Amino acid sequence: MATTSDLANGYPALPEAIADFAQSLLAKSPRTKTNYLSALNRFQEFLPSVGLDPATVTTDQLPAEVLERFYTWLLQTYGRDRRLTAVAYASEVRAFFRFLDRRRWLNPNLSYEHVKDGLRELIGRLHYKTPRVDDAVALIVTYVQSVPLPPNDGRNRQRRLEILRDRAILLTLYATGMRRAEIARLDRADVQDGRAAEGLITGKGDKERVVFFDEGALAAIRVYLKERADTYAPLFLRHDDGRGKPGPRGEHWRLSPQSVWLVVKKYGKLANVEVTTHHLRHLKARVMLNNGAQLSEVQDILGHASPETTKRIYAPYTTQHLRDAFDRFSLPAEELARRARLDLDRRD
């Protein structure tokens, strides 16, 4: 970490600042930390193109337009067809600038807000493809429920536990609309061993939110935990031969987000459906919207930080509801004119 002796004129060199930033990410998920540091590696590759040595430049020497020039460099390096990748890298380095601003390590004439606004104006408005999720995605949920359980004996125990676990995972994904990382992070205490209809989780951006379970998901969780017959904390465990020792409270056996993704892909293939964990999340949102839920309600259930995110992604699914509202609440000009004439007649 940067100390007073490391600082030149009160400002650290970029490598020391990045090391301090990495320390500040300890509370983030490993994947989030990896993404941030990968983006900063690209940022250091870019700096020589603007005459800055990434090994010696101090944070106060970073110019006001450096993030904008970094974004432009990313587009030139990777191509405009990788624009979303460029936006992701620039946004992750922007978080580093927010960290520098908190530490008062930016040039005194420069603020994080200035850097952020410049980048936002350069990027402009992004156009996201609206997710098209077919009802057939639900087939993997019904498929896993139809898989026969092998006999409850020692030879089949591993396979039996995996099927029960996978049922609980798929039913929970569909019921809650949770992300795969959120599913992997669940502890059995979060759902009171399948007895709690709702639970408080830590989602994307380390934000807490309440998620809701239906009886089908809770029943599958209860059956799985009863079959496990252990006291390990993670809700979903590995059951393969290569899992090693359980570690404290079974933490080393916790199923990873990637393994959750693989479970979904596995049953998608078996059910002949193209599906990912996010497809189940989109399906949950679409079903709710098309059955009358408000965008603001879906925003809270899915854990979107901004209502704009929900609106941008899912608003097309509400077109029919808007049409219904349009038909219900609109009036023809003739009707308004008739009412106006009646009012005039009453006044006379």
SS (HEC) of the chain: CCCHHHCECCECEHHHHHHHHHHHCCCCCHHHHHHHHHHHHHHHHHHHHHCCCCCCCEHHHCCCCHHHHHHHHHHHHHCHHHHHHHHHHHHHHHHHHHHHHHCCCCCCCCCHHHHHHHHHHHHCCCCCCCCCCCHHHHHHHHHHHHCCCCCCCHHHHHHHHHHHHHHHHHHHHHHHCCCHHHHHHCEHHHHHHHCCCEEEEECHHHCEEEEECCHHHHHHHHHHHHHHCCCCCECCECCCCCCCCCCHHHHHHECCHHHHHHHHHHHHHHCCCCCCHHHHHHHHHHHHHHCCCCHHHHHHHHCCCCHHHHHHHHHHHHHHHHHHHHHHHCCCHHHHHHHHHHHHHHHC
Catalytic residue of the set 36, 71, 224, 314: 314
- Clarify whether 304 is annotated catalytic: yes
278 is an active site residue? yes
Task: Give the active site residue among 180, 188, 281, 284.
Answer: 281
- The active-site residue out of 265, 278, 311, 321 is 278
| Whether 314 is catalytic | yes
Choose the catalytic residue: 179, 188, 239, 254. Answer: 179
Marked catalytic residue, from 204, 228, 265, 321: 204
Say whether 179 is catalytic.
Answer: yes
Residues labelled as active-site residues: 179, 204, 278, 281, 304, 314
